[in-house]
Amino acid sequence: MATDFSRTLSLLRQEKGLSQRKTAAALGISQALLSHYENGVREPGLHFVVKACDYYHVSADYLLGRTLSRDGAIIGAEDVYDSTAEKGTLKGSIMATLQKKLVVNTSNVLFDLLGKLGSREAITAAGDYMSAGLYQLLRHFYRRAGGNEEFFAMDSAAFDAGLAEAEQSISRVRYLRALDECAPEEFPALSGETLTADYPGVGQSAAQVFHNTDERARRHLEAL
């Protein structure tokens, strides 16, 4: 039975575009044994876990599913500041407050649905995709505000060449692959009616985001 460890082990190999045969050889085991590890048929010993961590440059906590941070920083949901309960508005802009609420509420719906699906890979990839988008928007703002870009680990040349966009595209691929690996019966029932019924208030925000995006896309198509 697949576990967080087996799924992560398989995902890391697929991210690198490596075959099981090549990876197994690098890790000093047979392809059959690696297949068993990736499918949750067998559990590895500590020696293999250490070798896999070194090979993929991730922490044991990440590989074992104890954290979403690849460097091993353990951040629990209770440790992350939650601004969704705040009733105040962003100073100086009603439009900014509206857009923030639409995005935050729709994100809440998405991650609640992903939580019900129970796919760690899909949850991680969705977070990575959205984080990469926020990273790009904030970095462009930071640059134009005169901030020192040495604050970022990604150098300016790599950022301007589209490295953050490439990372976001890869996250999208990982997200779609994770969804494809889930059986249809694992997905929660979803429709326009259930969306608004199951998520009163925030579901309306998601519907508004859908409508706004559809309308923008329609206008772009008509302009072609």
Q: How do residues 139-176 score in pLDDT, each as one tens digit?
A: 999 999 998 888 888 889 999 999 999 999 999 999 99
Q: Which amino acid is at 87?
A: K
CB 53 within 8 A of CB 47: no
Per-residue tokens: 57? 């440059």
Position 137 scores a pLDDT of 95
In this predicted model, what pLDDT tens digit does every residue of 25-63 receive, in sequence order? 999 999 999 999 998 899 899 999 999 999 988 888 888
Which range has the worst mean pLDDT, 52-61, 85-94, 103-112, 215-224? 85-94
Number of H helices, E strands in the chain: 11, 0
Task: For residues 20 and 22, give the distance between their C-alpha atoms in angstroms, rounded to a whole number.
Answer: 6
Lookup result for tokens 């691929």: 173
Residues 57 and 145 occupy one common structural domain: no
Between CA 171 and CA 213 the distance in angstroms is 21
pLDDT at 67 exceeding the cut of 60: yes
Statement: the pTM of the whole predicted model exceeds 0.85: no
Q: How many CB atoms lie within 10 A of CB 151?
A: 8
Smallest CA-to-CA distance from 61 within 140, 127, 5 is with 5
Give the domain CATH number at 52.
Answer: 1.10.260.40
Q: Mean pLDDT across the stretch 57-73?
A: 75
pLDDT of residue 92: 55
Q: Tokens 């772009």 sit at which residue?
A: 220
Domain residues for 43? 4-63
Q: 196 in a domain, yes or no?
A: yes
Number of domains in the chain: 3
pLDDT at 199 over 80: yes
Q: Specify whether 170 is located in the same domain as 200.
A: no
What are the two backbone dihedrals, phi and then psi, of residue 214, each rounded to the nearest 5 degrees?
A: -60, -40
Mean pLDDT value across the chain: 85
Q: Does 111 share its domain with 194?
A: yes
